[in-house]
């Protein structure tokens, strides 16, 4: 078995934004070699382009495996068409350059025959050179469509109570066929922090936001909360709303819970959306977990409540340009948490039952974090997204940095968050 890597770099006088506006269309016919092309979706909703090239009858298929508007990157894997290849994975990235932009197109190919591999690499270089020239020319002409869907009119929301031990509070949209999109808040949040998302998503599928145990109108359970207990609560919501499949959307602590559920029940998820976090304390050492817990329990042990230290927490959560209205919303959700609930959540968060195995993620994954997130930086979350892309058997990962936002990016930039989320949801199977 032989393996080789191809890298082609090109420059354009057009801006990186103009070039990416063309290149982001994975199923667009912008490459001059393309004779016909169509978009397909596999059973998990992963985007596939099926195309022919001029002068050939061969049908080629490639599946998109990674995408990011903020990173201006798309990666894909070969499924069908290249004779004599065992594996072929490629990535195109557009970056700003002096006087324009730089286009980097790479591929890694594997074949049992060295001569065939050399021919594949030679053909790849030719195709990449031609494509880069076409991208530059198209970007100079302009005229690419704007990215992302238009935001719909919000739908009405209804509060609900389900279960008895513990009683759980929801905000939900009217019933629809297909998966349920369930939102899980952070350790300092509440279900109403998701209202802008729930009302927008409700136009596409049924959506609901859950108050975690002890938060808002939900009651604490009879014992210390655990990951397994939260998973049971998610199943209780599914049963109450008649859902067979889920899209889980989490923020911070909620992202950690959502990922924990995905590790245990990947077959129940149509999609997974992780904002401002993912691994939580699952990869932290014992000392780091203990330091995190004790530092946040010091004021509780001194008799304070979350309302007493909410102003300090808001300073950490909010981005530098957060409005006073956003800061007030973050303060209210933090201040409303009972001390017993906050202590319960800290104990659960700092006692993770496992290190995540990303190979178990079989569903499309969207990851987002705020540009100014102090708790889950873009560098960290981008790194986790790349790990999922590398470790999942058939990855479909999107990563986005949300500009001018801190940790609670859905509250600070709801329109941007919603556009990205809706574009992701619209690609999922119903």
| Predicted local distance difference test score (pLDDT) of residue 293 | 85
The whole-angstrom separation of Cα 256 and Cα 186 is: 9
The whole-angstrom separation of Cα 172 and Cα 160 is: 7
Q: Are the C-beta atoms of residues 18 and 142 closer than 8 Å to each other?
A: yes
| For residue 386, pLDDT beyond 60 | yes
What pLDDT digit, counting tens, does each position of 237-275 carry?
Answer: 999 999 999 999 999 999 999 999 999 999 999 999 999
Q: What does DSSP say about strands 158-162 and 168-172: parallel, antiparallel, or unpaired? A: antiparallel
The whole-angstrom separation of Cα 278 and Cα 274 is: 6
| CA 136 to the chain's CA centroid | 29
> pLDDT band at residue 280, thresholds of 50, 70 and 90?
confident
| Predicted local distance difference test score (pLDDT) of residue 296 | 82
Domain chopping of the chain, boundaries: 2-141, 158-426
Q: Average pLDDT of the chain?
A: 94
In terms of Cα–Cα distance, which of 214, 225, 286 is closest to 257?
225
What pLDDT digit, counting tens, does each position of 13-38 carry?
Answer: 999 999 999 999 999 999 999 999 99
% of the chain exceeding 90 in pLDDT:
88
- In sequence order, the 6+-apart residues with CB closer than 8 A to the CB of 58 are 52, 81
More confident residue, 39 or 430: 39
| Predicted local distance difference test score (pLDDT) of residue 147 | 55
**Residue 274, CB-side half-sphere exposure with 13 Å CA sphere:** 30
The whole-angstrom separation of Cα 157 and Cα 15 is: 42
- Across the chain, which distance is largest between two alpha carbons, in Å? 77
| For residue 193, pLDDT beyond 80 | yes
What pLDDT digit, counting tens, does each position of 335-361 carry?
Answer: 999 999 999 999 999 999 999 999 999
C-beta neighbour count of 59 within 10 angstroms: 12
Q: Are the C-beta atoms of residues 260 and 274 closer than 8 Å to each other?
A: no
Provide the 8-state DSSP code for 358: G
What is the DSSP code string of 397-411? EEEEEETT--SSHHH
| Predicted local distance difference test score (pLDDT) of residue 429 | 83
| For residue 93, pLDDT beyond 60 | yes
- Residue found by looking up tokens 């238009």 in the block: 150
| Predicted local distance difference test score (pLDDT) of residue 145 | 54
> pLDDT band at residue 1, thresholds of 50, 70 and 90?
confident
Angle ∠(366,292,358) on CA atoms, nearest 5: 30
In terms of Cα–Cα distance, which of 250, 155, 239 is closest to 205?
155
Give the CATH H-level superfamily of domain 158-426: Alpha/Beta hydrolase fold, catalytic domain (3.40.50.1820)
| Predicted local distance difference test score (pLDDT) of residue 298 | 85
| For residue 100, pLDDT beyond 80 | yes
- Residue found by looking up tokens 């074949």 in the block: 111
What pLDDT digit, counting tens, does each position of 142-187 carry?
Answer: 865 555 677 888 899 999 999 988 999 999 999 999 999 999 999 9
Structure tokens at 405: 């936002």
| Predicted local distance difference test score (pLDDT) of residue 12 | 96
For 2-141, CATH gives: 3.30.530.20
* Consecutive H or E run containing 52: strand 47-53
Mean pLDDT across the stretch 94-105?
Answer: 96
More confident residue, 389 or 286: 389
Q: How are the residues of the chain apportioned to helix, strand and coil, as percentages rounded to the nearest 5?
A: 40, 25, 35
């Amino acid at each position: 078995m032989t393996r080789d890597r191809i890298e082609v770099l090109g420059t354009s006088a057009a801006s990186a934004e103009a070039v990416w506006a063309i290149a982001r269309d994975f199923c667009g016919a912008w490459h001059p070699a393309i004779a016909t092309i169509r978009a397909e979706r596999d059973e998990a909703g992963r985007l596939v382009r099926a195309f022919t090239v001029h002068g050939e009858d061969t049908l080629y298929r490639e599946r998109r495996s990674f995408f990011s508007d903020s990173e201006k990157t798309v990666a894909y894997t070969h499924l069908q068409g290249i004779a004599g290849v065992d594996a072929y994975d490629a990535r195109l990235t557009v970056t700003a350059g002096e006087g324009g932009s730089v286009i980097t197109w790479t591929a890694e190919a594997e074949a049992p025959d060295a001569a065939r591999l050399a021919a594949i690499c030679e053909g790849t270089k030719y195709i990449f050179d031609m494509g880069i020239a076409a991208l530059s020319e198209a970007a100079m002409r302009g005229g690419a469509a704007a990215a992302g869907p238009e935001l719909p009119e919000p739908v009405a929301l209804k509060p609900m109570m389900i279960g008895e031990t513990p009683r759980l509070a929801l905000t939900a949209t009217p019933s629809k066929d297909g998966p349920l999109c369930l939102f899980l808040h952070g350790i300092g949040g509440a279900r109403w922090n998701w209202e802008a998302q729930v009302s927008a998503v409700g136009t596409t599928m049924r959506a609901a936001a859950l108050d975690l145990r002890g938060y808002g109108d939900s009651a604490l359970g009879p014992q210390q909360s655990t990951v397994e207990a939260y998973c049971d609560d998610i199943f209780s919501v599914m049963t109450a709303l008649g859902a067979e499949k889920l899209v889980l959307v989490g923020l911070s602590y909620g992202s950690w819970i959502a990922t924990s559920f995905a590790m245990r029940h990947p077959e129940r998820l149509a999609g997974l959306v992780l904002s401002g976090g993912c691994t939580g304390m699952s990869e932290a050492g014992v000392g780091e977990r203990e330091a995190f817990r004790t530092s946040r329990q010091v004021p509780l042990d001194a008799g304070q409540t979350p309302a007493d230290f909410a102003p300090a927490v808001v300073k950490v959560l909010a981005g530098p340009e957060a409005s006073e209205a956003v800061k007030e919303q973050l303060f209210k959700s933090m201040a409303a948490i009972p001390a017993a609930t906050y202590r319960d959540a800290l104990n659960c968060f700092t006692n993770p039952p496992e290190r995540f195995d990303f190979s178990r993620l079989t569903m499309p994954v969207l990851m987002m974090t705020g540009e100014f997130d102090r708790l889950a930086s873009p560098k960290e979350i981008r790194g986790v997204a790349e790990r999922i892309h590398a470790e999942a058997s058939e990855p479909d990962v999107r990563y986005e940095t949300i500009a001018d936002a801190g940790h609670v990016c859905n509250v600070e930039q709801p329109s941007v968050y919603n556009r990205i989320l809706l574009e992701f949801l619209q690609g999922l199977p119903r």
